[in-house]
Structure 1
């Protein structure tokens, strides 16, 4: 649907279940009605529901969709691997987590055959409603590690916010980033803007205004991972910009626009990378970039080890799922 973060999850899940036929549960009423006419609805009754990563649990719109899937696939079971949990401390325009939404998920997830989560905060939130789950990481971590060499002095920039952000002021954030970029450019750094979503262009252009920098919209998640992998450090807001950069161990400055960014950072022991968007100023950004570059070797080593550990967990869970589905699993 034009969002490389969603595509990254989908591509990763497909790569882990070779030989499986994937049918997409219709997300809207209009598409649900169309599925009745095309026969998709009947086909779905013979499938297993697999919920990939993404911030799904704790959002009312996803609860309705997943309940529909469970009703259709009652005899085949449901699995959630590396799923994210909406943190109710953040109230965005479309977060869908109001009125104790999360409490409605305990009976739903209790019926799932597999439940694991993206990060420690997601696990903590499910523990609060009585569910004991393990952290397996975001499924996008299963994408191939890009074979690229980082270029000294090249900084990747991604600015995009989804439905809302801490501070609710994207213009202020983009302008602070613009000042930081100019200071870093005066120190000899070069930049590339990496768009995860077409909507990111507006804000990334503000951040890179006045700087001779290419802005790229990669064709797929693998291409985005390569772009981020050739950077000596990446400054990102979008969750999956940070995840794809982590595939190549790229040091991150994560502008935490929603709690899901912290959830992932905690999963790879990279809390040091976070600056909440309502706390960002250009001085802090420049200082964090200098620190990340100075500690680059140590950061890359620790990131590689953390990502490898989560990849092993995810691979084991998808292998078990593949066996349940009767697929040939290596």
Structure 2
């Protein structure tokens, strides 16, 4: 192994969001022994004289853009340019990244109609660009760039091996900066209707948070129903919790991704286009209900149908995730060769 294998990593981990941490953990697992230096991301990390983080990232190294919806967001474009500048352009990899859909009008989306075109000269010089799902491929094709679907990097984390608890339904709610319909309380209210109906049919629930700030929405949905609410320590633990469930109602993108890793059937509340992008990558578009169209009755119907067809859903999901894990392995193998690093 190279004695000085180093990457400058651009992502948004260690900010109380288990999804971003899942990506970071997955990437690190594929590059054993490599030193990771973060590209500074927040204002306080850019203190002058240059911060220790910036000085570490400045050493000649390979820029690795983690997964997550980075491409097409102005904020991350500026950070990507910084990463390219300080790493001396030795190597540039974007593996399993998401592309912000300019058709989404979220209040904090950070993406105007012309933003994506500004990414073309950046990504055109990368050694490799692969994306989360088919919609991301289409968006890059619109600006003249070719990419393949490898799926989200978190899919390459270890698969949980846990017994399924009959009748246990996982619940995850959380909306990030905004959602279709701009009404998080309304979504929680409709999910609460579904929870009470399903509880009346004998099902039990567990809340699985991807971000501590999401607790209020899960508590709202659980009003009148006894259920534990868990804050998993890491992505592997979260995947195990989803693996215990017969089915899950998920909102946060990486709740759906970790449930897919566990083969768990889901009803996916599509709060932003990235949820559809991922669902398409595993042939699971039928699991989606957009948050501006969700009703309690629709959630109940989808859950009951998923439970009735669970064996087939689990087999289909495992095959799709296996296909993407193979793609991700090929991408990380190429990156390891560039770094002179042996597989773990």
- For normalisation by structure 1, the TM-score amounts to 0.98
Structure 1 residues without counterparts, runs of 5 or longer: none
Task: Compute the displacement of 1:39 (Å).
Answer: 7.1
Structure 2 counterpart of 1:255: 269
When the two chains are superposed, the root-mean-square deviation of aligned CA atoms in Å is 1.2
Structure 2 counterpart of 1:145: 159
CA distance in 2, matches of 1:328, 1:196: 32
Choose the corresponding residue for 1:125, options 136, 139, 145.
Answer: 139
Is 30-39 or 141-150 further displaced after alignment?
30-39
Tell me, what secondary structure is at the counterpart of 2:50?
helix
Structure 1 counterpart of 2:223: 209
Structure 2 counterpart of 1:314: 328
The 1:81–1:213 alpha-carbon spacing in structure 2 relative to 1, beyond 3 Å, is same
Equivalent residues of 2:39, 2:53 under 8 A apart: no
Choose the corresponding residue for 1:81, options 79, 92, 95.
Answer: 95
Structure 2 counterpart of 1:197: 211
Choose the corresponding residue for 1:269, options 264, 276, 283.
Answer: 283
Tell me, what secondary structure is at the counterpart of 1:263?
helix
Tell me, what secondary structure is at the counterpart of 2:47?
helix
Structure 2 residues without counterparts, runs of 5 or longer: 1-14
Structure 1 counterpart of 2:258: 244
Choose the corresponding residue for 2:306, options 289, 292, 310.
Answer: 292
Residue 74 of structure 2 corresponds to residue 60 of structure 1: yes
Tell me, what secondary structure is at the counterpart of 1:199?
helix
Structure 2 counterpart of 1:24: 38
Instruction: Spell out, residue by residue over 1:38-82, the C-alpha distance to the aligned partner (whole angstroms, 9 max, x if none).
Output: 374255331111001100000000000001111112331211000
Aligned residues: 330
Instruction: Spell out, residue by residue over 1:155-203, the C-alpha distance to the aligned partner (whole angstroms, 9 max, x if none).
Output: 0000100000000001111111111100000000000000000111010
Mapping of residues 178-189 of structure 1, within 5 Å: 178-189=192-203
CA distance in 2, matches of 1:304, 1:38: 43
Tell me, what secondary structure is at the counterpart of 1:201?
helix
Choose the corresponding residue for 2:318, options 292, 301, 304.
Answer: 304
Task: Compute the displacement of 1:30 (Å).
Answer: 2.6
